[in-house]
Amino acid sequence: MSGDTPSIIAFEDVSKWFGTFQVLRDVDLSIGEGECVVICGPSGSGKSTLIRCINRLETHDRGTVRVHGVPLGPGERLPRELRGKIGMVFQSFNLFPHMTVLRNLALAPMRNLGMDKEKAEETALSYLERVHIGDQAEKYPDQLSGGQQQRVAIARALCMQPDILLFDEPTSSLDPEMIREVLDVIFELTDSGITMVCVTHEMGFARKVSDRVVFMDHGEIVESAAPDTFFDAPREERTRAFLNQILHYEASA
């Protein structure tokens, strides 16, 4: 755990069930301010559920989740003051299809922060520049490629100036040739001071970008370590098996 920085997200003994199936088993995890954490693991291991518990798209059933020091109990939604402060980037982009790119970005600042239209669009444009698609502002999402859409989604989340940014498999529904451009944009965010939690299968990215890699299996955290240690000297047998499967494949591919 990162003992030197104060923790901005903390899971304390968190469990969650979908019906009789336990997706999270007594999860303990602390994430420091400004830290970039990659969460990996086989599908169905509870990675997505874990990060969706941070911005309360899902609620947990036992234990406590602390965000910005605010304790959230079972079933509790996000308190008003935190709404919009935790950005999320989804696997399927979830852009609003009936709005231009610019409007997609400006909507939340206008409705949540009460920004006027001009200011909001100005902000929006600056973030679009930052993800290198300033020229696409007037287009509709379905006129963009997958990679461009996901970059729009990242810019949209940034417009709310979040302290925490969650990525839920941001490259999983992209064609291979577009993965790079999205990962580059995420990489460029690492020195912005935003705390980032990223669920991904991109191990090369994890190694290069993250401060820490967390491996989950069957709803529990198996191993949590700095990327070098994690990839070169994993302690747990399950981690080794998982890495073996994934990396073997990458090496041979």
Partner 1 sequence: MTSMIGQRKSRFRLNRLDGILMVGLVAAAGWMWYRSAIGVAYRWDWPQALSTVFATGDAGETPFFLTGIYATLRLSLWGAVLASILGVLIGVGRYAGGRTLRMFCGTYIQILRNIPPLVFIFIFYFFISSQLMPLLGLDALFSRPAEEASGWQRFLFGPPALWENLVSGVLCISFISAAYIAEVVRAGLAAIPRGQWEAGESLGIPVLDRYRFVIFPQALARIAPPLTGQYISLVKDSSIVSLISVQELTFVGSEIANSSGLLFEVWLLVAFVYFLLCLSLSILLRQVERRMTRHFHQFA
Beta bridge partners of 32: 7
Q: Which is nearer to partner 1, 157 or 214 (CB)?
A: 157
Q: Which of 29, 95, 124, 154 binds partner 1 (CB under 8 A)?
A: 95
CA distances from 186 to 59, 86, 96, 136, 144 (A): 27, 16, 21, 19, 19
Mask: binding to partner 1, 33-72, rule CB under 8 A, as x and -?
A: ----------------------x-x---------------
* Site for partner 1 contains 94 (CB under 8 A): yes
To the nearest whole angstrom, how small is the minimum distance from the Cβ of residue 215 to partner 1? Answer: 25
Alpha-carbon distance 250 to 135, whole Å? 35
- Six-digit token pair at 205? 């990215």
- SS3 of 89-128: the string is ECCCCCCCCCCCHHHHHHHHHHHHCCCCHHHHHHHHHHHH
Mask: binding to partner 1, 152-171, rule CB under 8 A, as x and -?
A: -x--xx--x-----x-----
Q: Which of 107, 125, 243, 246 binds partner 1 (CB under 8 A)?
A: 107
To the nearest whole angstrom, how small is the minimum distance from the Cβ of residue 200 to partner 1? Answer: 18
Alpha-carbon distance 162 to 219, whole Å? 27
* Site for partner 1 contains 143 (CB under 8 A): yes
Token pair 């009936």 in the structure block, residue: 98
Q: Which of 140, 145, 188, 243 binds partner 1 (CB under 8 A)?
A: 140
* Site for partner 1 contains 145 (CB under 8 A): no
Q: Which of 9, 88, 133, 216 binds partner 1 (CB under 8 A)?
A: 88
- Six-digit token pair at 219? 């709803």
Alpha-carbon distance 158 to 152, whole Å? 10
Beta bridge partners of 10: 30, 66
To the nearest whole angstrom, how small is the minimum distance from the Cβ of residue 248 to partner 1? Answer: 33
Instruction: Say what angle helices 117-130 and 101-112 make with each other, to 10 degrees.
Output: 130
Q: Which stretch binds partner 1 (CB under 8 A): 33-41, 94-102, 191-199, 245-253?
A: 94-102
CA 61 to mean position of chain CA atoms? 22
The alpha carbons of the chain give a radius of gyration, in whole angstroms, of 18
Q: Which is nearer to partner 1, 6 or 79 (CB)?
A: 79
Q: Which is nearer to partner 1, 92 or 244 (CB)?
A: 92
To the nearest whole angstrom, how small is the minimum distance from the Cβ of residue 171 to partner 1? Answer: 16
Give residues in contact with partner 1 (CB under 8 A). Answer: 55, 57, 83-88, 90, 92-99, 107-108, 111-112, 140, 142-143, 153, 156-157, 160, 166
